[in-house]
């Protein structure tokens, strides 16, 4: 039997935006948006929150997610790779459930404006294609072939990617995308057998820029608040 588990990873020690994952966004804790959306998607069979923080766990349970146990503190540090947290979550789930599961989807707290339809279509895209992992992407406003630079040893600048062709307009450069945090879909086997997202064949599902905002700091949070309120007002008209 196919089984899809939605995981939400939320540690308590965020630095740029203190207690970010439960900071109220227009009346709801940030994590609640990921939980509520996941619970509305029929294709997701269970919603599990992985956290090291008891307050986050209590809030998650209140909004309908499961928190089987708290994540070890060593997997909730500033330097902890997200991939290690994914491996821990898969191993813990398999330990507690005899049948295991087929599809892993991570829905980070930091994308509260993601659309239900995008996640459903991403799941279909993953199922219909031969990718090891599918993630959300949105067209980049800058290009490493044209208007992105790096500093050389002598302090001068150079384009990140230099080609023989002289690209003078962004429109003439290869199409580039930003990776979003709207969602990551893969198999538990791929997570356990590899050490990085890009170890395998990766697919990108394109989504709109406005629904892919990734909250990293206070400015991002303010933008998300504004866009969310604006969207609600538009729907009332």
**What pTM value is reported for the model?**
0.91
Per-residue pLDDT of the chain (237 residues; tens, 9 = 90+): 689 999 999 999 888 899 999 999 999 999 999 999 999 999 999 999 999 999 999 999 999 999 999 999 999 999 999 999 999 999 999 999 988 899 999 999 999 999 999 999 999 999 999 999 999 999 998 888 878 899 999 999 988 887 766 666 666 677 889 999 999 999 999 999 999 999 999 999 999 998 999 999 999 999 999 998 876 655 544
**Sign (positive/negative) of CA torsion 41, 47, 53, 54?**
positive
Task: Indicate left, alpha or beta for 133 from its phi (over 0: left) and psi (-120 to 50: alpha).
Answer: beta
Task: Quickly tell me which residue has 């997701």 as its tokens.
Answer: 44
């Amino acid at each position: 039997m196919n089984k899809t588990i939605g995981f939400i990873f939320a540690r308590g020690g965020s630095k740029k935006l203190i207690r970010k994952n439960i900071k109220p966004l227009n009346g709801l804790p940030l994590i609640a948006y990921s939980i509520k959306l996941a619970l509305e998607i029929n294709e997701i069979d269970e919603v599990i929150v992985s956290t090291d923080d008891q307050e986050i766990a209590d809030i998650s349970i209140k909004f309908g997610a499961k928190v089987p146990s708290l994540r070890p503190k060593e997997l909730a540090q500033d330097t902890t790779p997200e991939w290690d947290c994914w491996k821990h979550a898969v191993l813990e789930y398999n330990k507690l459930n005899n049948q295991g599961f087929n599809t892993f989807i991570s829905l980070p707290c930091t994308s509260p404006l993601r659309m239900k339809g995008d996640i459903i279509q991403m799941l279909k895209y993953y199922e219909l294609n031969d990718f090891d992992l599918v993630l959300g992407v949105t067209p980049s406003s800058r290009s490493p072939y044209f208007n992105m630079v790096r500093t050389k040893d002598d302090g001068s600048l150079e384009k990140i990617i230099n080609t023989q062709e002289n690209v003078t307009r962004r429109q003439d450069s290869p199409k580039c995308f930003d990776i979003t945090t709207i969602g990551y879909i893969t198999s538990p086997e791929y997570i356990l057998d590899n050490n990085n997202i890009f170890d395998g064949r990766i697919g990108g599902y394109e989504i709109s820029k406005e629904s892919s905002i990734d909250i990293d700091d206070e400015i991002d949070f303010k933008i998300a608040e504004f866009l969310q309120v604006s969207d609600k007002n538009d729907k009332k008209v």
